[in-house]
A and B are shown apart, each in its own frame.
Chain A
Amino acid sequence: MLAFIARRLLQSILVMLTVGFIAFSLFNFVGDPVSLMLPPEATQADRDEVRKSLGLDKPFYTQFAVFVQNALQGNFGISLRLGRPVSQLLTERLPATLELVGVATLLALLVGIPVGIYTALKRDHWSSQLLLTGSLIGVSLPNFLIGIFLIVIFAVWLGILPSFGRGDTTQLGFWSTGFLTVSGLKAVILPAVTLGFYPVTLIMRLVRSEMLEVLRTDYIKFARARGLSNQAVHFGHALKNTLVPVITITGLQLGGLIAFAIITETVFQWPGMGLLFIQAVQFADIPVMAAYLCLIGFIFVTINLIVDTLYYVVDPRLRMETSSAGGH
């Protein structure tokens, strides 16, 4: 167990270093960090001063070490566009994005898993075929178009849900939540449905194909031969085996969803990190881009670790192989 976690941790650190290096390169080679830090009217003396204070006269690896050190302390410099510390901007925006992604994920799991199971068990029924074709339409719809479509129906025509923004939020420490007010809850519906659309189709298709795969295995055939009821075969045996890979892939998707929220946040002017990032791209705001990249990388790595641990808990083979590795 310990060796397993240690190995995973090492891998995670490697991934983070790579991502950090890309962010560092963005920062140092693409953007000119000196001019990023100074007003345009600065003199050469000022520039040298800043160069020195940033350590740009030092060797390359020392610079990277300094960057990593700063990043670990959450220091990513100042946004060019907004003139405020990047870390501060991201912390402000983080709750909005996480709440949106959380609701969307919940939605995706609650709809995707049951529908996936249904289409696998009733695989030849017309309703399954219909759902499958429907999921293909879901995959083919660009996310922003779904958002626009929902806005037109629910905000413009019916006028029952807001078309943009987060509604009223409540401050809980550093976290601003929209879950405690009616307008906040209403505001999250359309963006969450939009963002959840793609993962629903994905999870549904994944669950279906995994379940079909499991239903073909010998132990399912043997379970049938033992006379177990369909209920026991499908939900007692097949489902658990199906969910093992589903956990992994859903977990990985979750990390992606945070970045994917860029589109949804733009359509709904949702004040999250994605909106901040897209504005940074449009204005070439390198510090924000670099910091966002690191943050997404970090979230991805963390989720990955959690997923691996979950996997470990669910699958006894994994648990045993590592614990009894020395015993054989």
Chain B
Amino acid sequence: MTGALTSTVRRFLDSDIWYKFRRDPIVIVATIIGLILILSSAFAPLFAPHSPFDLKTLNLSDAFTPPAWIEAGKAQFLLGTDDQGRDVLSTIMYGSRASLVVGFAAVLLSMVVGITLGLISGYFGGALDAFIMRVADVQLSFPAILIALLISGVARVVIPNSQHDQVAIYVLIFAIAASGWVQYARTVRGSTLVERNKEYVQAARVIGRRPLAIMFAHVLPNVLGPVMVLATLHIGTAIITEATLSYLGVGMPATQPTLGTMIRIGGDFLLSGEWWILWFPGLALVVLVLSINIIGDWLRDALNPKLR
């Protein structure tokens, strides 16, 4: 067991991917920063100096405290506080957590739906394939943000007002996922079409095994690379989409801040001089997405040397 593990590790250390990774300082920096951001938000309750959800610790008289290095700042609020007296640094940590959860969950959902539909489409072909691909075409004619907006708009009508806040996160995940499955489906479908006519699939059919299951096992390794690249870049897009929806006021409620919500709140105080409420969450968002995109972009090049 450990032998297998060490050999896997050794193979990885010897692989081209690892070699290319070590020689690219920008990706290393992006990975480190990305990991710091993800870990600090995942363990926000441990690291955050304050809890933005604990109403007892909030004090409105602390509101609008500037960052600690400015004269009126207080040492306990390193990046200042917002209009409610919440510590900006802690809110960023909790906010990125919500952003990341939404982003990862949406990508995972898109991926599962996309891979399944792509496999079905490629394997069965015919009318089913034509139908799925036409739906994909129609969907591609609308930008992700519009589809997400429509879904959350419909959800507002269908779901009673009192439950809006509880289900907001699920609506958001669904809305973002619904706009992203097409690319996975297309990639997997293409690869399935290639595999379908190979002999092992015919053989499996002859001996009465379920070809779909076998194909899944064979198609998956082939599409793993492109799907991983798509997923990484998609996480960046999903986080931006979430932030945008929250900024537009149709995402997460103000009681469960995400980075987008914080930026929306900060926007109200931009002209009155409390710049830190906007720019620190904004910076956190950009750095987070940028590091994820750098990794995704690098991954694409590393897995596909032809596209240098």
What CA separation (Å) do A144 and B262 show in the bound complex?
13
Binary contact track A144-173/B, C-beta < 8 Å → 1, others 0: 110010011000100000000000000000
B270, A140: Cβ atoms closer than 8 Å: no
Is B117's beta carbon under 8 Å from chain A? no
Is A18's beta carbon under 8 Å from chain B? yes
**Distance between A307 CB and nearest chain B CB, rounded to angstroms:** 12
21 contacts between A and B (CB under 8 A): A14-B134, A31-B157, A137-B290, A139-B236, A140-B236, A140-B290, A142-B247, A142-B260, A144-B247, A145-B282, A145-B285, A156-B270, A252-B141, A259-B142, A262-B248, A263-B247, A281-B248, A284-B156, A289-B153, A293-B150, A296-B146
A289, B145: Cβ atoms closer than 8 Å: no
**Distance between B137 CB and nearest chain A CB, rounded to angstroms:** 7
What CA separation (Å) do A14 and B270 show in the bound complex?
47
What CA separation (Å) do A136 and B294 show in the bound complex?
7
Considering only residues 235-282 of chain B, those with a C-beta below 8 Å from chain A are: 236, 240, 243-244, 247-250, 260, 263, 267, 270-271, 278, 282
A286, B150: Cβ atoms closer than 8 Å: no
Contacts of B247 in A (CB 8 A): 142, 144, 263
What CA separation (Å) do A260 and B143 show in the bound complex?
7
What CA separation (Å) do A259 and B278 show in the bound complex?
26
Is A314's beta carbon under 8 Å from chain B? no
Interface residues on A, range: 35 or more
With known contacts A133-B26, A136-B293, A209-B307, A282–B250 Cβ distance under 8 A: yes
Contacts of A209 in B (CB 8 A): 307
The number of inter-chain residue pairs (CB within 8 angstroms) is 112
Contacts of B285 in A (CB 8 A): 142, 145
Contact of A136 among B137, B150, B153, B297 (CB under 8 A): B297
With known contacts A14-B134, A148-B270, A282-B249, A140–B289 Cβ distance under 8 A: yes
- B236: nearest chain-A partner, CB-CB: A140
Contacts of B243 in A (CB 8 A): 142, 144
Binding site for B on A (CB under 8 A): 14-15, 18-19, 26, 30-31, 123, 133, 136-137, 139-145, 148, 151-152, 156, 209, 212, 252, 255-256, 259-260, 262-263, 266, 277-278, 280-282, 284, 286, 289, 293, 296-297, 300-301, 304
With known contacts A281-B152, A282-B249, A144–B244 Cβ distance under 8 A: yes
With known contacts A145-B263, A284-B156, A263–B244 Cβ distance under 8 A: yes
Contacts of A140 in B (CB 8 A): 236, 240, 286, 289-290, 293
What CA separation (Å) do A284 and B270 show in the bound complex?
29
What CA separation (Å) do A143 and B245 show in the bound complex?
12
Contact of A15 among B138, B146, B263 (CB under 8 A): B138
Contacts of A142 in B (CB 8 A): 240, 243-244, 247, 260, 285-286, 289
Interface centre among B243, B247, B294 (most CB of A within 10 A): B247
**Distance between A290 CB and nearest chain B CB, rounded to angstroms:** 10
Interface residues on B, range: 35 or more
Contact of A278 among B149, B260, B282, B286 (CB under 8 A): B149
Contact of A148 among B141, B153, B278 (CB under 8 A): B278
Interface centre among B140, B141, B158, B297 (most CB of A within 10 A): B141
Contacts of B138 in A (CB 8 A): 15, 18-19
Contacts of A15 in B (CB 8 A): 137-138, 141
Contacts of B236 in A (CB 8 A): 139-140
**Distance between B69 CB and nearest chain A CB, rounded to angstroms:** 20
**Distance between A95 CB and nearest chain B CB, rounded to angstroms:** 20
Is B13's beta carbon under 8 Å from chain A? no
What CA separation (Å) do A259 and B146 show in the bound complex?
6
Contacts of B145 in A (CB 8 A): 259-260, 262-263
Other 20 A-B pairs with CB < 8 A, given A144-B263, A209-B307, A255-B141: A15-B138, A18-B138, A30-B157, A137-B290, A140-B293, A141-B286, A142-B243, A142-B247, A142-B289, A144-B243, A144-B247, A145-B282, A148-B267, A156-B270, A259-B142, A259-B143, A289-B150, A289-B153, A297-B142, A301-B141
Contacts of B271 in A (CB 8 A): 156
What CA separation (Å) do A141 and B237 show in the bound complex?
10
A143, B244: Cβ atoms closer than 8 Å: yes
B293, A263: Cβ atoms closer than 8 Å: no
**Distance between A34 CB and nearest chain B CB, rounded to angstroms:** 15
B250, A300: Cβ atoms closer than 8 Å: no
Contact of B142 among A30, A145, A296 (CB under 8 A): A296
- A288: nearest chain-B partner, CB-CB: B153
**Distance between B282 CB and nearest chain A CB, rounded to angstroms:** 5
B263, A281: Cβ atoms closer than 8 Å: no
With known contacts A140-B290, A260-B143, A281–B149 Cβ distance under 8 A: yes
Contacts of B140 in A (CB 8 A): 252
- B147: nearest chain-A partner, CB-CB: A259
**Distance between B138 CB and nearest chain A CB, rounded to angstroms:** 5
What CA separation (Å) do A210 and B149 show in the bound complex?
32
What CA separation (Å) do A296 and B249 show in the bound complex?
22
Contacts of A255 in B (CB 8 A): 141
Binary contact track B128-170/A, C-beta < 8 Å → 1, others 0: 0000001101101111011001101110111000000000000
A286, B157: Cβ atoms closer than 8 Å: yes
Contacts of A144 in B (CB 8 A): 243-244, 247-248, 263
